[in-house]
Chain A
Amino acid sequence: MTTAPSWSTSAPATRIPALAIGVGLRSNHYEHILRESPDVAWFEVLSDNYMHTRGRPLAFLDRITARYPVALHGVGLSIGSVDPLDRAYLDELCVLRERTGAGWVSDHIAWTGVNGKHGHDLYPVPFTEECLRHIARRVLQAQDILDAPLVLENPSTYLQFAGSTLSEPEFIAALLEETGAGLLLDVNNVYVNAVNHGFDPFAYLRQLPLGRVVQLHLAGHSVVAAPGPDGQSATHLIDTHAGPVAPEVWALFEEAVCLGARAPVLLEWDAEIPSFDRVHAEALRAREHIDRALAAAGRRRGERSPRLAARQPSAGGAP
């Protein structure tokens, strides 16, 4: 269907260890970070905020990247659009990657505009073979320009198109397979979509190639009630990145780690942003969930190896 990538399909090289916990860099925390040098493993930088500027945002970013490893995360690539791929955008992204020494560059499996107009939102793609071929071709083009694998995020969505013939995880798995791209698994987005579209988020995780996960996202969401078709209230979730991570999302995060997602973890907090310390403390809650997930993974491995288990002495010491 598409030509194979010319570089390795393994996860990109990075200075950020697997399961290291990072925080999304936000401008209202610049001064705190530079003054206090908090003990944060890494920062995710919203690339679009540092493109089309030669000014103060870059000056702050330079000082932060001198102290911390970073990865770039964007919203403007519009990899799913039928408009021509924006070469100038990708060139500027390359410059920013060089400037920051970012471990990898990520964006969303989405489109943001068409006919030269931009909606500045992440719009859903139809899960069809035609769309899969279209996006895979563009991912390969982008990767040739970046000379590195892209890392693609599963986006939050509020609708699905009726013509879809693949499930979302089938679509993502096929896209990663075709292109060699990595996966930014946003666990909150999985949960938001599961509620909004009525699927089992745990089954969704089991369909993804979790060995390809390069980064994990955590975030809060908002619960909204709207009138349903029968006049009853229909609850849906909006991916606002506001507030703490929901318990259901922590449970899903544990399952993803337990199933083999071993990548740096990042908390996004974009609305009603509290102090840096509050955001960082929320991110660090991931540690206890990681520990629990790794213990559960160990137990599951044990359960799957009955012969090995039988060789262990029993609690009573009898052979």
Chain B
Amino acid sequence: MTSHSQPRGVGALQRWFFERVTGAADVTDAGEERAVLGGELPAQARVDIYRRAYAARLIECLADDYPAVAHVLGASAFEMTCRAFIASNPPPSASLNFYGAPFAAFCGAPGRLPEGGFVAELARLEWALVEVIHADAEMTLDPTKLAAATEDERPRLRLVPSPALRVLRCDYPVHRYYQQFVEHAAVGVPERVACGVAVCRRGDDVWRFGLEPVWLDLLERIRDGAPLESALGALEGAGDGEALQRTFSEWVSAGFFADVAMD
């Protein structure tokens, strides 16, 4: 940071104004304090333009990041939830790219929303989609590196997950719900069912995969750094080798892995 001294008059004015814009203070003293020039449009109404814009911009940002949550809550409840979120989470950064990061946890706080557990999981999925869009997806696994590993190397070989991969363990089928939302077919809150979802970007394309528990376990082990052989060794109930081959091929094509590494 650059050293600086605050100009007192400007600083006091900015703090006074910002408290009113962000709702921390009432705007009714705008004209009385003679801080703001009125005229045809009263001083209070002028400050109010900025106050309304502050909330509107942040709600718009959250709506961009969480369209499915907005759908399941309905417009009015979504706006109320956003306003409560904004009040307790003033933007901490000059960038809005990651403003919505704590929204899933906020929605899932006990007693905050009816069906809060489902809403929070849906929000986690939507946030994963935001994160992979902004993540580096430059490197993707060259499958020939896998084939080139020697017998000695194979027990130590592990796959490096792409920075643009997110793996979520869920109590609700949010992947299925989200797909229905995209197809304009989403209905009510689904029943609980343990499952997983993987989200990944490769190039311009963002992929979303629903994962049965067995594949979720495998992918989590690989993501967490287990050598590939031991991760596969722990695999049970995945069916035949053909299913494994097909699943792996899909994961590699979608860019789940950036490279191989040796322990």
Query: A residues touching B (Cβ–Cβ < 8 Å)?
Result: 48, 51-57, 59-60, 76, 78, 80-82, 84-87, 89, 111-121, 123, 125-126, 128, 130-131, 133-134, 137-138, 141, 158-163, 196-198, 226-229, 234-236, 238
Contact = CB atoms under 8 A, between A and B. Distances in A.
A55 B133 CA distance: 5
A128 B8 CA distance: 12
**5 closest Cβ contacts across the A-B interface?**
A159-B46, A76-B94, A52-B95, A82-B11, A54-B136
Contacts of B137: 55-56
Contacts, number: 164
A53 B10 contact: no
B10 A131 contact: yes
Given A55-B136, A113-B18, A120 B96 contact: yes
Interface in B53-77: 53-54, 57-58
Contacts of A130: 7, 9-10
A115 B18 contact: yes
Nearest to B18: A114
Contacts of B7: 82, 130-131, 133-134
A105 B247 CA distance: 47
A227 B45 CA distance: 9
Contact of A54 (B21, B98, B135): B135
B46 A198 contact: no
Interface of B: 1-4, 6-7, 9-11, 13-15, 17-18, 21-22, 34-43, 45-47, 49-50, 53-54, 57-58, 90-98, 132-137, 163-164, 201, 203-204
A112 B40 CA distance: 26
B41 A112 contact: no
A252 B79 CA distance: 39
A161 B98 contact: no
A162 B34 contact: yes
B21 A52 contact: no
B93 A118 contact: yes
A200 to B, nearest CB: 15
Contacts of B135: 54-55
A114 B57 contact: no
A117 B21 contact: no
Given A76-B95, A78-B94, A120-B54, A56 B204 contact: yes
A82 B6 contact: yes
User: In the complex, which of the residues B36, B39, B92 has the most CB atoms of chain A within 10 Å of its own CB atom?
Assistant: B39
Contacts of B45: 226-227, 234
A229 B54 contact: no
Nearest to B138: A54
Given A54-B136, A55-B137, A234-B41, A126 B13 contact: yes
B14 A84 contact: no
Nearest to A52: B95
B94 A112 contact: yes
A114 B40 contact: no
Contacts of A196: 41
Nearest to B39: A198
22 contacts: A52-B98, A53-B97, A54-B135, A55-B137, A56-B204, A57-B134, A82-B10, A84-B1, A84-B3, A112-B94, A114-B15, A114-B18, A119-B18, A120-B57, A123-B21, A125-B10, A126-B13, A128-B10, A130-B10, A158-B49, A159-B43, A228-B42
